[in-house]
Amino acid sequence: MIRAEGVSVFIGKKEVVSDVTLTCKAGEMTALIGPSGCGKTTLLHALGLLLPVNKGAIFYKEHNYTKASTSQIKRFWQQEVAFILQDYGIMDEESVGFNVTMQKDLFGKKVKGDLARLRDVLEQTGLSNREQELASYLSGGEKQRLALARAIYKNAKVLYADEPTASLDAKNREKIIALFRDFANKGYTVIISTHDAALIEACDVCYEVQSNRIARK
């Protein structure tokens, strides 16, 4: 569970996120919504500890991470969460397989890790039999799905996604939304910044960033 209490974030002297109190529960999909420039991506980054908060606190499993050390935050990123950001976070010069497992042999040539699980998550995300392919060959939508494959492989407890369906066609959008839903149904927390009506409809909770309103379905 991720919880924000009275969180405000300034970029320079401008208050981009103002006095947000929000709980994102395990087993639920939470949508951060609002018009472009309202601060939903900034709030997503703050909830993921990618941005420091100027006021208030961010809690994970009731631990106040605004007071956490650098090493504690790094462990949070490495062990607990996964991010699907607008730049995908994909290493173009590496293979699809390595981008999922993030492991290689000592010579840097062979992908290591749970290879059966790798094949399974690539199948789930529509990237079957492409583990040897360079990520640079993938389209924008395929890179988005590759980022999700990495999150599923990692078995992250919290998934943060920034406009994850923005570059997808209708068929792939449905597939990604179903994967997010499955991720949440397994008891994990999914937090999404989006303006996609279909994705918003699939979420359990919608938080309007600009007006600080919460709608629960």
- Residue 4 reports pLDDT greater than 90: yes
Q: Which of 27-36, 82-91, 188-197 is predicted least confidently? A: 82-91
CB 30 within 8 A of CB 205: yes
In the prediction, which pLDDT does 107 show?
A: 65
CB-neighbour burial class of residue 93 (10 A; exposed 0-12, middle 13-18, buried 19+): exposed
Confidence of residue 30 (pLDDT cuts 50, 70, 90): very high
In the prediction, which pLDDT does 87 show?
A: 66
SS3 readout for the chain:
CEEEEEEEEEECCEEEEEEEEEEECCCCEEEEECCCCCCHHHHHHHHCCCCCCCEEEEEECCEEHHHCCHHHHHHHHHHHEEEECCCCCCCCCCEHHHHHHCCECCCCCCECCCHHHHHHHHHHCCCCCCCCCEHHHCCHHHHHHHHHHHHHHHCCCEEEEECCCCCCCHHHHHHHHHHHHHHHHCCCEEEEECCCHHHHHHCCEEEECCCCEEEEC
Domain ranges of the chain: 2-216
In the prediction, which pLDDT does 61 show?
A: 87
In sequence order, which residues have a C-beta less than 8 Å from that of residue 211 and are 6 or more positions away? 34
In the prediction, which pLDDT does 118 show?
A: 93
Spatial separation of the C-alpha atoms in residues 194 and 161, rounded to whole Å? 8
In the prediction, which pLDDT does 109 show?
A: 75
In the prediction, which pLDDT does 212 show?
A: 76
Q: What's the CATH class of domain 2-216? A: alpha beta
Q: Which of 18-22, 110-114, 188-192 is predicted least confidently? A: 110-114
Token pair listed for 69: 């050390």
Query: For 41-78, how does the pLDDT look when each residue is reduced to its tens digit (9 = 90+)?
Result: 999 999 999 999 999 999 998 889 988 889 999 999 88
Query: For 68-125, how does the pLDDT look when each residue is reduced to its tens digit (9 = 90+)?
Result: 889 999 999 888 999 988 766 788 899 999 999 988 877 667 888 889 999 999 998 8
Query: For 130-187, how does the pLDDT look when each residue is reduced to its tens digit (9 = 90+)?
Result: 999 999 999 877 888 898 898 888 888 999 999 888 777 888 888 889 989 988 999 9
170 or 201, greater pLDDT: 201
